[in-house]
Amino acid sequence: MPVEVELKAHVRDRNRVLRVLDQLATAETATYQDTYYDTPEGALARAGKEFRARTIHVGDQQTLLLTFKEPKLDSSGQPEHEVVVAADPNQLSAILTGLGYVPVIAFTKLCTNYRLTRNSSSILATVVQLPEIGDKTYIEVECVLSVAEEPHIASTAETLRSFMIDVLGLDEATFTDDTYTGAVRKHRDQQ
């Protein structure tokens, strides 16, 4: 079972972070359209699970991913199962709702992705903006570990933390456990 190890932070100076990342890797700009599903009773959320359909637009290319996240193992590690789906997003939505799932939240993320290596770990660093909530910027850095690598969650999390502090110059006080779904819900509740 793959385990995603991820850390996230608020970014105060987006342009500076992008300049640093541009020196380390090639940027890929993408738009993510995320829709989260649950049972009508909210059973997945109550169990700490997530079920998401994501459409990724890079240029004129479109990829549809279906993701199931199990409950977190600790503050940075979470089992994640993901598959590319060869379907139209509307067809996938019809299938999921036909199976009894309901969309609980949907939103768009503007992402700039960088793929790089640090301490032999393959890292995906993503600078994220949620247009719906304004000009707030996040950065998330993640590694996906195999089952055999699962005992290394803590050391991988430390590699990511070091990268964010030592390379990107982020203050640990900006690190957050906030979720994008939570940020969007909070914004919508305030409207």
CB 12 within 8 Å of CB 86: no
CA dist 74 and 81 (Å) reads 17
- State the DSSP string of 32-71: EEEEEEE-TT-HHHHTT-EEEEEEEEETTEEEEEEEEEPP
CATH code of the domain covering residue 17 = 2.40.320.10
pLDDT of residue 1: 67
Say how many domains are in the chain: 1
Mean pLDDT score of the chain, rounded to an integer?
91
CA dist 42 and 78 (Å) reads 20
Quote the percentage of the chain above a pLDDT of 70.
95
Could you write out the three-class secondary structure of 61-89? EEEEEEEEECCCCCCCEEEEEEEECCCCH
Residue range 96-153, pLDDT digits in tens: 999 999 999 999 999 999 999 887 778 999 999 999 998 899 999 998 876 556 667 7
Burial of 117 (0-12, 13-18, 19+ CB in 10 A): exposed
pLDDT of residue 188: 93
CA dist 70 and 57 (Å) reads 26
pLDDT of residue 52: 96
Residue 182's domain comprises: 3-190
CA dist 65 and 81 (Å) reads 10
pLDDT of residue 149: 61
Tell me how far the alpha carbon of residue 10 is from its chain's centroid.
Answer: 14
